[in-house]
Amino acid sequence: MLAGSVDTSATAIEWALSELIKHPRVMKKLQMEFESVVGMKRMVEESDLDKLEYSDMVIKKFIRTHPVAPLILPHQSMKDCMVRDFFVPKKSRVVINTGAIMRDPIAWSEPEKLSGKRH
């Protein structure tokens, strides 16, 4: 639990900060949202999260462009199955490339960019 949570969160935050430095307009909008929803006198509470709509969208964009675990964890198929044209026999080790899915040009316009949108 510790190994799975600490490094992932630290890496995600590091990428988020590096993107914010490159996108000062986004940083400003985030600061304005935090100031208006949370204010300057207290920390963010879990109950604020629903109201932090812009922050929610931006964090999802950071995670799409910089997935911390692009190949997630190995999985094993529980039964024979087909994925499109591919036959996957029972008990195969399956590695899902979420990094490629999240930068798939068929699904996203300008997939490498933070501003990339879903087609």
Tell me the closest approach of the beta carbon of residue 5 to ligand HEM, in angstroms.
3
100 lies in the site for ligand HEM, by CB under 6 A: no
- Which residues share a beta bridge with 93? 76
Name residues contacting ligand HEM, limited to 3-32 (CB under 6 A). Answer: 4-5, 8-9, 12
Rg of the Cα trace of the chain?
18
Q: Give every CB contact of residue 7 below 8 A, 6+ residues apart in sequence.
A: none
- Residue 88's contacts (CB-CB under 8 Å, 6 or more residues apart) are 77, 80, 81, 82, 94
Range in contact with ligand HEM (rule: CB under 6 A) among 27-35, 41-49, 53-61, 66-74: 66-74
Looking at residue 72, the DSSP 8-state letter turns out to be -
Q: How far is the CB of 104 from ligand HEM (least distance, A)?
A: 18
Judged by beta carbon, residue 4 or residue 105, the one nearer ligand HEM is: 4
d(CA 114, CA 94): 29
Q: Does 68 sit near ligand HEM (CB under 6 A)?
A: yes
Of residues 40, 43, 57, 73, which one binds ligand HEM by CB under 6 A?
Answer: 73
In the complex with ligand HEM, the residue whose CB is nearer, 92 or 109, is: 92
